[in-house]
Amino acid sequence: MCRNIKTLYNFSPPATDEEIRASAIQFVRKISGFTHPSKANEDAFNQAVDQVAKAAQDLLGSLVTMAPPRDREVEAAKARARSAMRFGVS
């Protein structure tokens, strides 16, 4: 999976529409190979982003878990620590 696509499920507060759309854009970019589509492909690209965002929204709305929601700040700190161990402190 693309490293820029973040887990959006089971966080407090829940993922925003903007976060879901950003993940959809990253997904469509990855599978299409386009960072910025040409004018000829722009409509198809945007339609795909809309459809992926809708599917992601539906999925996140229908998932069920008994686990407590994760804290965004705690998860971000863990990610920074993993990055520092992997790449060193800059």
Please give the Cα distance from 63 to 80 (Å, whole number): 28
Higher-pLDDT residue of 2, 73: 73
In a domain, 18, yes or no: yes
In a domain, 37, yes or no: yes
In a domain, 60, yes or no: yes
Task: Give the residue from 75, 54, 83 showing the smallest Cα distance to 10.
Answer: 75
Number of domains in the chain: 1
pTM above 0.85, yes or no: no
In a domain, 2, yes or no: no
DSSP E strands: which ranges in the chain? 11-12, 70-71
4, 11 Cβ separation under 8 angstroms? no
Dump pLDDT digits (tens) for 29-60. Answer: 999 999 999 999 999 999 999 999 999 999 99
In a domain, 58, yes or no: yes
The parent domain of residue 24 ranges over 11-87
DSSP 15: P
In a domain, 50, yes or no: yes
28, 45 Cβ separation under 8 angstroms? yes
Residue 3: band (very low, low, confident or very high) from pLDDT cuts 50, 70, 90: low
Q: Cβ of 26: how many Cβ atoms within 10 Å?
A: 18
Sign of the dihedral defined by the CA atoms of residues 39, 40, 44, 45, in that order: negative
